[in-house]
Structure 1
Amino acid sequence: MLKVSPRQAKNSALVVLMLAQLLVVAAGFSNKAAAQPSATSALPESDQRRLRYYLLQGQQAVAAQRLLWPKDDNAYQWFQQALALDSQHPQAHQGMRQIGQAYVALAQEAYIEGDRVKAELMLERAQQVSVSPAEAAAIKQRYPAPKAANNEFTLPPHDLSQQNAQVKAQLTELALRAKTLSSRLLIVARSDREGRWIYKYMRESVAGYRLRGNIQLGSVPKIVLIDMPLSAAADG
């Protein structure tokens, strides 16, 4: 059974509350869009009707969490069309801020769940819309990366995706260390295919030695030398 700490429960509740607040705002927005006049009163009646339609569609998309996708029916697209008619329209700009804050909420939820890759992707999307780099950096600081144990060795995601010389050298070194210490491995990979490639390359690095290990899926790729003595880990 998955155990949830009081802190995790509290953080999850905060994320749920934030999402609920966004949906409440979105639910009441359609009435405001009809009641509040555009800042550009010179717009022809036909453009004003289009503007109200774009705002309503945008808020419905926010409520349904269609923030940047699908391509032809997302909140960002609808608010962009509204701003094309009236670049200063306050409700359209508020809609853009809602999208950014929705992505912030998703990022915080991912941080709490330990999925840092997803969290940083959500923050990137938030910055595409309305969140400033300073705001994104402040959120990242609230969720510092947990310190790896001495027997855990993270693998650079980009190098691993490229299967380049740098990550191959790191895997060779870890395979040799595992052989020297007679240690089992835990390979944490982003996909089963990636995990199998890591194991295959490490095994080939110590040809003739039976390298024992398991593969586990996770968002942060790393190698854990399960049987590494603390003294060996401290010596590096």
Structure 2
Amino acid sequence: MALLEVKDLHVYYGKIHALKGVSLELGKDQIVTLIGANGAGKSTTLKAISGILGASEGQITYDGEPLRDLAAHHIVGKGIVQVPEGRRIFSRLTVAENLKIGAFLLSDKKWIADAEERVLELFPRIRQRLKQIAGTLSGGEQQMLAIARGLMSNPRVLLLDEPSMGLAPILVQQIFDTIVGIRKSGIAVLLVEQNAFLALQIADYGYVIETGAISLKGTGADLLDNPQVKEAYLG
């Protein structure tokens, strides 16, 4: 049984039918990627899973439990955490304060301290900037902080929305190496990413979404070799 399953999901923005029966699965300790053009429904899918957007039809099941219509903070409490597109850090707070906000639903002080140490080992550049105002970090450092803040919530599933957007190539590779490390730590990752080539390279499985519907699916390797995917997304 999949850890996270989305089945026949429909989402509307007013009269606009944004998701038209999206179905996908994420297994324990997997990286699954969702690729597609801008406006295809990738971010909408993540927002529906995390409870930011309501779905009009369909099912979202996590570890056998229905999630649809739960409030976003309850979904975080169950172990599904989204790192949004654009980082959305608290720019006027320090790096350390941003990390503490990530653990706002947790009460075990020792666990929180241990979690902070784990994320600082994962992102040593963040350790050097704990007292720095988050808005003064570079774009790459802000992305690292956004992911670190998400990991402070003790997730079993991490929803990553465009983590490489706007980053220099050397930082993009660092972020993707980190995503692989997160999976190795036992956290499943559902990845929305504009860099389809890198996303499919690290993904166990992938889905292609077009105008709100899944058009192709397969292992990351299979989609990398798919002529339609090559033509549309890999250049």
- Assess same fold via TM > 0.5: no
Structure having the larger proportion of residues in strand: 2
* Structure index of larger Rg: 1
Normalising by structure 2, report the TM-score: 0.26
RCO greater where, 1 or 2, for CA within 8 Å and sep 6 or more? 2
- Could you state the TM-score of these two structures normalised by the residue count of structure 1? 0.26
